[in-house]
Amino acid sequence: MARILVCCLVVGILILMDDIQAQKKNQTIDLAKLAKILRRPSLKTRVIGGHVTTIDKLGGYLVAMRYYNNFICGGTLIRDLIVLTAAHCFENRNVKEGWTVEGGISRLTDSGVRRGVKDIIKSAEFRMTTMNMDVAVVLLSRPMVGKNIGFLTLCSTPLTTGKHLVVSGWGMTHPDNTGPDQLLRTVTVPVIEKRFCRNVYRLSAAITDSMFCASVLGKKDACTYDSGGPLVYDRQVCGIVSFGIGCASRRYPGVYTDVHYVKPFIEKGIKALLTRRSGRTKIKAPKY
Ligand code: ARG
Q: Please tell me the distance from the alpha carbon of residue 251 to that of residue 19, in angstroms, as a whole number.
A: 9
Give me the catalytic one of 18, 134, 181, 221.
134
* pLDDT for residue 4 is more than 50: no
Same domain, 215 and 122: no
Same domain, 80 and 104: yes
Average pLDDT over residues 223-233: 96
pLDDT at 16: 39
Same domain, 85 and 162: no
Nearest CA to ligand 1 atom 2: 224
**Domain, as residue range, for 25:** 4-52+154-260
Same domain, 147 and 272: yes
Ligand 1 pocket residue status of 100, Cβ below 6 Å: no
Same domain, 103 and 171: no
Is 287 inside a domain boundary?
A: no
* pLDDT for residue 23 is more than 60: no
Give SS3 for 165.
strand
How does DSSP assign 104-147, residue by residue?
A: S-SSTTS--EEEEEEEEEE-TT--TTT-TT--EEEEESS---ST
Same domain, 237 and 120: no
What is the number of structural domains in the chain?
2
| 227 has catalytic annotation | yes
Choosing from 4, 8, 91, 189 the residue with most ligand 1 atoms within 8 A of its CB, the one to mutate for a pocket test is 8
Ligand 1 pocket residue status of 224, Cβ below 6 Å: yes
Same domain, 77 and 95: yes
| 164 has catalytic annotation | no
Is 196 inside a domain boundary?
A: yes
Nearest to 179 by CA among 284, 28, 70, 275: 70
Is 211 inside a domain boundary?
A: yes
Out of 28-37, 93-102, 233-242, least confident range:
28-37
Q: How far is the CA of 32 from the centre of ligand 1 (A)?
A: 31
Same domain, 266 and 133: yes
| 278 has catalytic annotation | no
Same domain, 100 and 219: no
Same domain, 235 and 268: no
Q: What percent of the chain has pLDDT over 70?
A: 79
Give me the catalytic one of 18, 19, 88, 168.
88
Q: Quick one: pLDDT band at residue 6, thresholds 50, 70, 90?
A: very low
* pLDDT for residue 12 is more than 80: no
Residue 140 and residue 79 in contact, taking contact as beta carbons nearer than 8 Å: no
Same domain, 131 and 211: no
Q: Which helix (H) or strand (E) holds 31?
A: helix 31-39
Q: Global pTM?
A: 0.83
Out of 116-120, 155-159, 207-211, least confident range:
155-159
> What residues contact 7, with CB distance under 8 A and at least 6 apart?
224, 243, 244, 245
Mean pLDDT score of the chain:
84
Choosing from 72, 226, 240 the residue with most ligand 1 atoms within 8 A of its CB, the one to mutate for a pocket test is 226
Is 16 inside a domain boundary?
A: yes
Average pLDDT over residues 282-286: 47
In this structure, what CATH number is given to the domain that contains residue 14?
Answer: 2.40.10.10
Is 284 inside a domain boundary?
A: no
Give the pLDDT confidence of 65-113 residue by residue, as tens digits.
999 999 999 999 999 999 999 999 999 999 999 999 999 999 999 999 9
Give me the catalytic one of 106, 123, 227, 242.
227
Same domain, 46 and 158: yes
Is 145 inside a domain boundary?
A: yes
Is 286 inside a domain boundary?
A: no
